[in-house]
Structure 1
Amino acid sequence: MKKINLAFAFMFMGYFALNAQSYIGHSVDNYSGIHGIILNPSSVVDSRMRTDINIFSLSVFAGSDYYAIDLGNLADSDDGFEISENTEKFPKQNNQFFLNIDALGPSFMFNLSPKHSLGFTTRVRAFFNLNNINGELYENFSNDFDLAEDFNFNVEDFSGTIHLWGEVGATYGRVLLEENKHFLKGGITLKYLKGGGSAFSSSPSFSGDYSGMNEVLSTMGSLNYGATMDFNSEDVGFDSSASGFGGDIGVTYEYRNPQGLDSLGKKDNKYKFKIALSLTDIGSITYNETSNTNYNLNGQIQKTELSEKSLSEILEDNYTGSEELLDSKINLPTALHLVADYNIRKRLFVSLNGSFSLIGHDKEQANRIINTVTATPRLETRFFSFYLPLSKRQYDGFAAGAGLRLGPLTVGSASAITSLLSDSSKTADVYVGLKVPIYQ
């Protein structure tokens, strides 16, 4: 039987790391350029940018409804980060863990004509979702079952997927309607996807009872685990034959005040308010000959094994597993985005952005974003923008952050303020970007 790799241990036990949309706050800026394409491909046309060249950008979004971090205490600590001292735990029957890393490589966009534009993007992305894991079970595994009292657990509809992939995208945008106060544009991005590897696990149900007196864990149920060839936490690359195709599609409507339109140029925003709708990450990657092992979890495990062996060793030494090679399709984190943006006055805007997963948390071999609604007041000029995103996040609650764009440099976080002020932050995000903007 093939040895279970380290990616499975990471997926099953999922330590909190520093998912939702990328570049929150910045992507709604009319001067976001290539970053606006990520949220809605229709933004490539009628842009305030003549050309926008991204050198490198990175966005990280992660969290858990199990761990909450007090960053204030962390800053005052002389011993660095300690999970036991700098986190508060909220174990439930169905805890969630999530991570989204989005690295935007060399990319650019340009105008073919006033009504047609093109964009090209390169990205490397990593997603991790752990759904419906029993928090008490997780905690006892973390502590090597160092306990004397009895406990029992039940897990329903458990699933977890970690996936790394790269993508090359081509975006085309076109003005569809331009009549006085009504303006409509659309865009589409077609992507070639290259798989970097995936590990996944699922179980319809498994349960157990631990006897503190006998120091024995009795379990029943089943667990399926799969991993693409040669994928583990120490050997990750894009040399596999796995590939696929994906895409994004979006439209934007603008209501414009016809008075004074003739005096505005290409460098000026003309709308009073706009509404944008998009679907992102449609598609999947197929991996050939993925190792799939189904474990029968009916059995007993001694406490010494629980404290001394790794999770993979526990499964292999105590349970019967049947392995087979199958083709596995890993679905992208398909999402729906809706943005409403209002021009308060010349350089002041406020937007309301909802990002919602179209992938259910019970779907196997798939990643998903967490649902987020964000209101973002911002001051916006050609060379400088300042954002103040205020979000309601699934599994966490309210989050407030800040970001700025200063010429070629963009930095921000949609949770920086609440993370510093709150003693129980369950999500965190940060982004930074460097580009060559060429304005209209």
Structure 2
Amino acid sequence: MRHYYLLVSFLLIKMTGIGQNYTAIQGSSYAGSLGTGHNPASIVNTPYTWDVTPFAFQVRTITDAVTIHNYSLLTPGAKAEYAFTPGNFSRTAHLSSNINLLNARVSLNRQTAIAGGINIRTYLRGKTSPYNFIDTLSGLESFFGINGNRLDLSGDVTGNSWVEVYGSYARTMIDNEKARLNAGVTLKISRGLAASNVRADNIRVEPQATTELSQLVSGQARYAYSINFDYWKNEKSTMQNIRDFLSRTEGGFSMDLGVEYLLKPSGWVAFDDDDTYYDYDWKIGLSLLDLGFNQYRFSPNSRYVSGIRPGISGADLDNKFTNIENVQAFNDSLATVVRTMRRFSGNFTVINPTRLVINADRFITQAFYVNADLSINLYAFMKDRLYARELNLLTVTPRWETRRWGFYLPMQYNAENKFWVGAAVKAGPLLLGIHNFAYVFAKDQLQNGGGYLALVVRPGARNKGPYKDKKDKRMRQYQCP
């Protein structure tokens, strides 16, 4: 049984490798091109004429199915080991990350900005119905046994990755002495790199009437993956494999829409100072993100199955699926178990992690701010379609931030009902952060956390006389001229 479980876990993890989740800088006017993925309107209200992000990386994972022991970011991994979590409960897993390559933003003037770049993104989500599990099971028959020989199982796992090229445009729509309204749009053209889905429903196990064995009595399932996996062959060179893999990708499209409403500070303002022009007391953002899809071509090994042949016990399943070496052999064995088997053909679509984001950023004093971010996944409208899902829900981030330095303390309650406290620091062009402190210190939480790293190149600040220091400027804004 351990081998079956390990195989499934490996497939889940292999699909991930790369979320726009630079949590610390959400709502920050210094986010620059990295802010595009959170709200395209944000690229206007930035006190730089340009910025370039040559490279940025973010990853986040959460699961209760596997625990990594004796390992944290501060301890050596020589004694690290993993264990599948025992107990009777529903298992979940979520992994997301992204790579940003050559992202750039340019202010055409104070009212208009553009941005563009390349992102590589991957999402995986998985959830099962409750079942009992221990790590010493010898096979499916013993697995059925510890569940009382009565099971009603279901599960759904979807993972996909894609590369996207995007362009953003934002401008100021309304500007007066009290407030400013900015709006922006991002259009993204993508290629679906890889995808897979496994879904099982109504897998029922009951005790046999004449023996002590259990039997599989009903169920239906689908398992599918993109065809380019079939063209990765060990006998070919790495470059040839990459060419064959990418040549069988399909296109996709998505877009982001956003607005930001800024309430300006009252009092005296130096209009010739860039930082003063971009100051605010409140900034309220609303964005609709990742409205779109990616396409993939079915592998000919993808199947839909339903119905169970009579008399199939756990021991029979152990015998039929021993020494399975590839998907074709798995299909052949499964055909002897089910009544109906149908092959998928053509293309399938995975909906991007569409969500509505509401963000409020409050200036406190000097260089201190507090940001609150609410992210609402819209997958409830997807019904039975395949979709990716974002982990964000509610995040509150106090921060101290200037042009060159920043310290951040994001606190988040995520969509898996977990509370995390993270941290980040900005030092010149470098941004480094973690999602969960437990990921760093605890020796059994490496599977729950993640972090981010970004290199953002900006122009040097011009000497602006008495207003060049952000701290002094915000203290003086209420003084009389």
TM-score, shorter chain, exceeding 0.5: yes
User: Which of these residues, 158, 164, 169, is aligned with residue 167 of structure 1?
Assistant: 164
In the other structure, the counterpart of 1:199 is 196
Q: Which residue of 2 aligns with 1:3?
A: none
Structure 1 pair 363/296, CA: closer, same or farther in 2 (3 Å)?
closer
Taking structure 1 as the reference length, the TM-score comes to: 0.86
Q: What is the CA–CA distance in structure 1 between the aligned matches of 2:88 and 2:18, rounded to whole Å? A: 20
Give TM-score scaled by structure 2 length: 0.79
Q: Partners of 2:394 and 2:70 in 1: how far apart?
A: 24
Letter in 1 for 2:167: A
Counterparts of 1:215 and 1:322, CA distance in 2: 29
Shift in Å, 1:105: 0.6
Does the CA contact (< 8 Å) of 1:401 and 1:414 recur in 2?
Answer: yes
Aligned partner of 2:116: which letter? F
CA distance in 2, matches of 1:135, 1:13: 19
Aligned length: 428
Asked whether the 8 Å contact 1:404–1:411 carries over to 2, the reply is yes
In the other structure, the counterpart of 2:152 is 154
Q: Is the 8 A contact 1:155 1:205 kept in 2?
A: yes
Distance in 1 separating the partners of 2:331 and 2:214? 15
Residue by residue over 1:80-138, the C-alpha shift from the partner in whole angstroms, topping out at 9 and shown as x without a partner, is: 33112xx755642x42211112000111110111111100120011111113354536x
Letter in 2 for 1:54: T
In structure 1, what residue type is equivalent to 2:216? S
Cα offsets for 1:171-217 (capped at 9, x unmatched): 00000111112111010000001111211122343222478x85655
Q: Is the 1:17–1:62 Cα contact (8 Å) retained in structure 2?
A: no
CA displacement at 1:324 relative to structure 2: 3.3
- Matched with 1:322 is 342
Query: Structure 1 residues 271, 91: CA separation in 2 closer, same or farther (over 3 Å shift)?
Result: farther
Give the aligned CA root-mean-square deviation in angstroms. Answer: 3.4
Deviates further, 9-18 or 164-173: 9-18
* Aligned match of 2:270: 262
1:180 aligns with 2:177: yes
Match of 2:365 among 336, 345, 353: 345
- The correspondence for 1:430, drawn from 410, 432, 451, is 451
Residues of 1 paired with 2:65 and 2:299: CA distance? 31
- Cα distance change of structure 1 residues 315 and 435 upon mapping to structure 2, 3 Å threshold: same
| Structure 1 residue aligned with 2:287 | 278
User: Does residue 239 of structure 2 align to residue 243 of structure 1?
Assistant: no
Q: Which secondary structure state, in structure 1, belongs to the residue aligned with residue 403 of structure 2?
A: coil
Amino acid at match of 1:225: Y
- Match of 2:205, SS state, is strand
- Structure 1: which 5+ runs fail to align? 1-7
Q: Given that residues 21 and 355 in structure 1 are in contact (C-alpha distance below 8 angstroms), is that contact kept between their aligned partners in structure 2?
A: no
**1:101 matches 2:97:** yes
Does the 8 Å contact 1:33/1:44 carry over to 2? yes
Counterpart CA distance in 2 for 1:183 and 1:57 is: 30
CA contact (8 A) 1:66 1:90 kept: no
What is the rounded CA distance, in whole Å, between the counterparts of 2:11 and 2:115 in structure 1?
38
- Aligned residue type for 2:114: L
Match of 1:410 in 2: 431
More moved, 200-209 vs 140-149: 140-149
Letter in 1 for 2:190: L
Query: Which shifted more, 177-186 or 322-331?
Result: 322-331
Whole-angstrom CA distance in 2 between matches of 1:354 and 1:293: 38
Query: Once structures 1 and 2 are overlaid, which stretch shifts more, 300-309 or 22-31?
Result: 300-309
Larger radius of gyration: 2
Q: Is the 8 A contact 2:127 2:157 kept in 1?
A: yes
- Give distance in 2, aligned partners of 1:140 and 1:364: 34
| Cα distance in 2, alignment partners of residues 245 and 18 from structure 1 | 21
Give the equivalent residue in structure 2 for 1:5: none
Is 2:25 aligned against 1:26? yes
Are 1:293 and 2:303 an aligned pair? yes
1:230 aligns with 2:228: yes
Q: Aligned to 1:161, what secondary structure does the other structure show?
A: strand
Q: Which letter does structure 2 place at the counterpart of 1:43?
A: S
Contact 1:52 1:436 in 2 (8 A): yes
Q: Counterpart of 1:261 in 2: which secondary structure?
A: coil
